[in-house]
Amino acid sequence: MRILYLSQYFPPEVGATQTRAYEMAQGLLRAGHQVTMLTEVPNHPEGVIRPEYRGKFWTRAPLDGIDVIRVWVKTAPAKTFQTRMTFYLSYMLNALLAGLLLARGRYDVIYATSPPLFVGGAALALSRLRRIPLVFEVRDLWPESAVALGELHNPRFIRWATVLEEACYRRARRIVVVTAGMRARLIERGIPAAKLALIPNGANTELFQPQPQGGQQIRATLGLEDKFLIVYAGIHGIAQGLETALLAADRLRAEPTLHFLFIGEGPRKADLLALKTQLALPNVTLLEAQPREAIPAYFSAANVALVPLRRLELFKGALPSKLFDAWACACPVLLSIEGEARAVLEQARGGVYFPPEDAEALAEAIRQLAHDPAACRRLGENGRAFVEAHYSRQAQARTLVALLEAVGSDQHSGSPISKSMLS
């Protein structure tokens, strides 16, 4: 089977979206299928196109067996509403053109992952023009999430984005969601339950596993051998509310064995650096983004991993992949997400919950864990066992393979890809 896969973000960029797309594509390859990836030229999160891709409208080269087409995008370091929209729309237009001009031949299915929602716009057009069934993956309910975070205010744009979102839902043969809460929300909005498939986030348990020696080396390099280390690894964005962690560090400054390590980039990185300077925090280290292959060693260096989100109703259905990455490395977590993520935490017995955006509660949770290292180790071991049993990325890739094979088989057999879907 030939699959046209659309993901705006893809390696060598680093991030949860990039990793999920790469690992799902690898799962499809292992099942004997061909995958063409339509993505952007690497620029995330800095907003600067990497030198080797500058001046090129598109490039095509294989990556570990995946046929990768990269299209030019209009990007900028400053993340305003205008620059973001230009960025998203340039990908949508150029991915559509590349899909028509470069991705020739017969594809059995289009698989598109959102957000950004505009990936769905390109996939929607290609599905109609090429008469190929569409499977639409939804990792975030956009524009709903952007409105909740205060990123979108223009009523006309919100209405337009909602129309595009609904069109993608109608056109899609199947819709993949990453949380049960998201599935329930789409059913509330009128999407038939039979159309929805749950393939949650998870961890590559072959890559993410305990690395005691690597963890010790990181501690030695950073001069943190004797510290109780709290590690955050991921995007430094609006949704995470990392300011809470810095305020907790401020409350813990009198306890010199406790240290925070932040790894990554994002739109709030400069603000966090400024707050660290303002508070004069000696117990906080901020590092640049690291290659994904290096992250297991950082989680192995950690005594506990931080998995935060802000206090928003929307996030009650969130289930971040970094939760499973940390657990796969036998690292317990400090989690501040209500709803589904908290329920999974309690089921796994893999960490401690604290209320979102509550610096004092976070500080107290850290104190308790630091004073009971044996309990910390047990929580980490529980997390590793739980991921192996329920949330391995390898098993999730096999689920996607079966779903796409079913859609492709229906297409070839003439079974119900409805006229409305192909019109």
Residue 40 pLDDT greater than 70, yes or no: yes
Residue 408 confidence (pLDDT): 85
What pLDDT is stored for residue 413 in this prediction?
56
Q: DSSP readout, 222-288?
A: HT-TTSEEEEEES---TTT-THHHHHHHHHTTT-TTEEEEEE---TTHHHHHHHHHHHT-TTEEEE-
Write out pLDDT tens, residues 390-403.
Answer: 998 888 999 999 99
Quote the CA–CA distance of 228 and 240 in Å, as a whole number. 22
Q: Report the alpha-carbon distance of residue 114 to residue 142 in Å, rounded.
A: 8
**What pLDDT digit, counting tens, does each position of 258-293 carry?**
999 999 998 899 999 999 999 999 999 999 999 889
Buried b (16+ CB within 10 A) or exposed e, 200-211: bbbbbbebbbbb
Please list the residue range(s) of the chain that carry CATH number 3.40.50.2000.
2-202+393-422, 212-390
Whole-number pLDDT of residue 383: 97
The residue type of 338 is E
Q: Which CATH class is domain 2-202+393-422?
A: alpha beta
pTM of the predicted model over 0.95: no
pLDDT(149) > 70 = no
Report the side by side order of strands in the sheet with 284-287. 284-287, 258-263, 228-233, 304-308, 333-336, 351-353
Q: How far is CA 297 from CA 205, 207, 214, 326, in A?
A: 13, 10, 5, 10
Joined tokens for residue 80: 């305003």
Provide the pLDDT for residue 46: 80
pLDDT at 415 over 50: no
Residue 412: pLDDT band (50, 70, 90) is: low
Q: Does 267 sit behind a cis peptide bond, omega within 30 degrees of 0 on the bond before it?
A: no
> For residue range 116-148, what is the model confidence (pLDDT) as tens digits?
889 999 999 999 999 999 999 999 887 777 766
Nearest to 102 by CA among 134, 42, 66, 58: 58
Q: Specify the DSSP element, H or E, that contains 337.
A: none
Q: What pLDDT was estimated at residue 376? A: 95
d(CA 304, CA 240): 17
What confidence tens digit (pLDDT) does each residue in 310-341 have? 998 878 888 898 999 999 999 999 999 999 89
Q: Which CATH class is domain 212-390?
A: alpha beta
d(CA 291, CA 42): 14
Report which of 97, 83, 91, 80 is spatially closest to residue 114, judged by C-alpha positions.
91
pLDDT tens-digit map of 20-30: 999 999 999 99
Average pLDDT, integer, range 68-91: 88
Percent of the chain at pLDDT > 90 equals 70
